[in-house]
Structure 1
């Protein structure tokens, strides 16, 4: 039995090895296999053959390829709709703090030497043998995130490695981060300002889903990094949320970490992410009387669900809970359980129903329906279509005449 036997499906991988026998799995897939294989997703390979030769070999084998990054030696093979990223071994020629000019090589150690961390510089060949040039297996066992080579130089090659360090620290790290890494990060922290907002956001959201996030946040603050990414971070509030069981949701945790009104713009979040943060922060009042709290009865929750999506109210519950030192945690958990179990109420009437009932077309239709909707919400959004139609007919004689 080898390490590869942990993979639930390896027929595509075996097919690639039939035509590229020197290729090796590399990086995250090897790291995760060593950790037990339960979180292995992307099967990326490295190979000594240049990219045009890889394309030609796979084309003759009837395997579809996509030139996803030829300038960097990468093609993607598709087998049964599963992508396999295959990259030619490389060495850096020049670097500029963001991108490197590379040249092909056949030397596995040269390729490993240009990778960021020792735990990502691991190779696994077709027989399940691990090739480890920089002590990555030892570091992984010790939960030690360490740069390959000199930490400051690696950061100067690509400043994003500062945040990548903390992403892996949040997932694998220990109480004592690598001293050389922390020293280099602190002295190069200003380079973060040169990174694009999109790259910052992508890494930060991934950092926030790490299982050891609370400890990682302390490391980021010690290295003068956190407030360079998120202005005036509310670290204590997020840590409190983590202790209370806030789910591994990067956008939710970002909302707990920062109240900055320009956060979405600063990080250039997607429209969907930005809208979620905005809705999470408010309004906290869904009408004049209902405030989201564990004391809400089911009628009050339905009234709020009629106006907001489940996700918005769940996000808002975490924001309110982490600001409330008086409520018991189990009260908020019970509230969320009730919310999740509720179907979102939809007002059962539309303008055509008012016209059909005898109201002339025009702005009066909207006024009457708005009043009727207030009546429906006041009753916990429980009246069904038949009851709403009956109430509509009762109200028509009282409506202003056009």
Structure 2
């Protein structure tokens, strides 16, 4: 029995090995198989054949291929709709901290030497034999994450490895990070500034849903790399929120960790992500309405005791997810711990049906109101009336109110 027997289905691999018998599984899949095979997902392979040759062999055998990265030696083979990424063995010619110029090689150890960590530089051939050139198996058993070779050189080749170190150390490391790695990271913390916001965000959001989060962030803070990525981090607030059961949602945890106004811009988040962060930020007031339908900015006092009417008014203006997000930040700021009114508030919000204003401008047109700006003013007035009553009046009630405000006149519009 070999570790390959832990795979629920190896038929795709066997098909590839019948065509490329020298190919070997590499990286995370080998590591995870050695740990029992529970978390194996992508099955990536390496092979000594140049990319054009391996692609030609696969296609000649009837395997569909996709040239996903030919310039980097990578193709994707599709077998029974399962993708297998296969990459030619490589060696680095030059690196600039973000990208590498590579050349093909047939030397397995040379390829392993350019990888990031020893536990990710493992190969497994078609017979199930492990090929370990840098002690990755021993490191895996000892819960020790080490860079391959010189830690400083690995970081200078790609500064994103700083964040990858902390992400992998949280999962596979021990209580304290490898001293050589931490020293090299601290000395090169400034290289973070040369990375794109998108790359930083991708790694940071993964770290935020990983294990031992507060320990990991503490190590990042000590190394001087947390604040350059997440401005004004509030570790205390995040710790309180985690103690209260903060969900495994990277963007939510990011918003609790920092409410810096330039956070979304710095990490080049998408428009949707940026909007979500802005809505959960306590510095940005929520919009609600008083009993007469007027704007009530003091709704920034987001507390568990809000009435159902107020919650429905808020739901008519803000996504439910945003209000639930906001409750986590507000609870952490309040200092309340454990089961509390905030849990009840979130349950109330989750159970509520989002109110939708039941009439539109076409209903005013159907009643004979001429097209024009007066329709918007009229519908706006009825909307305020509807919200002032907790968003409860149904379509018939709103239509009656609309009729009551006709004919259009300064007096009618002002009701």
TM-score (norm 1): 0.93
Give the SS at the match of 1:396.
coil
Matched residue count: 402
Q: CA deviation at 1:364?
A: 2.5
What corresponds to 1:214 in structure 2? Answer: 214
Q: Deviations over 1:148-180 (max 9, x none)?
A: 111111112221111111121233333211111
- Distance, in Å, in 2 between the alignment partners of 1:162 and 1:382 is 53
- Distance change >3 Å, CA 173–CA 341, structure 1 → 2: farther
The answer (yes or no) to whether the contact 1:63–1:79 under 8 Å persists in 2 is yes
The answer (yes or no) to whether the contact 1:109–1:133 under 8 Å persists in 2 is yes
Give the SS at the match of 1:276.
helix
What corresponds to 1:325 in structure 2? Answer: 335
Map 1:251-290 to 2 at 5 A. 251-281=251-281, 282-287=284-289, 288=296, 290=299
The answer (yes or no) to whether the contact 1:285–1:292 under 8 Å persists in 2 is no
Give the SS at the match of 1:149.
coil
Map 1:142-161 to 2 at 5 A. 142-161=142-161
- Distance, in Å, in 1 between the alignment partners of 2:38 and 2:341 is 34
What corresponds to 1:163 in structure 2? Answer: 163
- Name structure 1 gaps, 5 residues minimum: none
- Distance, in Å, in 1 between the alignment partners of 2:252 and 2:211 is 15
1:307 aligns with one of 303, 307, 317: 317
Q: CA deviation at 1:198?
A: 2.2
Q: Deviations over 1:272-322 (max 9, x none)?
A: 221221222232343416443221233322221111112211211112111
Q: CA deviation at 1:399?
A: 4.9
Q: CA deviation at 1:221?
A: 1.0
What corresponds to 2:293 in structure 1? Answer: none
- Distance, in Å, in 2 between the alignment partners of 1:21 and 1:80 is 20
1:385 aligns with 2:387: no
What corresponds to 1:295 in structure 2? Answer: 305
What corresponds to 1:36 in structure 2? Answer: 36
What corresponds to 1:72 in structure 2? Answer: 72
What corresponds to 2:350 in structure 1? Answer: 340
Q: CA deviation at 1:213?
A: 1.2
Q: CA deviation at 1:327?
A: 6.8
- Distance change >3 Å, CA 153–CA 284, structure 1 → 2: same
Between stretches 135-144 and 66-75, larger displacement belongs to 135-144
Pairwise CA RMSD of aligned residues? Answer: 2.2
The answer (yes or no) to whether the contact 2:288–2:310 under 8 Å persists in 1 is no
The answer (yes or no) to whether the contact 1:214–1:242 under 8 Å persists in 2 is no
Between stretches 271-280 and 127-136, larger displacement belongs to 127-136
What corresponds to 1:204 in structure 2? Answer: 204
1:225 aligns with 2:225: yes
What corresponds to 1:63 in structure 2? Answer: 63
The answer (yes or no) to whether the contact 1:173–1:212 under 8 Å persists in 2 is no
- Distance, in Å, in 2 between the alignment partners of 1:374 and 1:325 is 35
Q: CA deviation at 1:147?
A: 0.8
Q: Deviations over 1:233-284 (max 9, x none)?
A: 2222122222222222221121112222111222212222212212222323
- Distance change >3 Å, CA 150–CA 301, structure 1 → 2: same
- Distance, in Å, in 1 between the alignment partners of 2:286 and 2:170 is 31
- Distance change >3 Å, CA 382–CA 112, structure 1 → 2: same
- Distance, in Å, in 2 between the alignment partners of 1:235 and 1:80 is 46
- Distance, in Å, in 2 between the alignment partners of 1:320 and 1:46 is 49
Give the SS at the match of 1:68.
strand
- Distance change >3 Å, CA 174–CA 378, structure 1 → 2: farther
Between stretches 150-159 and 125-134, larger displacement belongs to 125-134
The answer (yes or no) to whether the contact 1:75–1:85 under 8 Å persists in 2 is yes
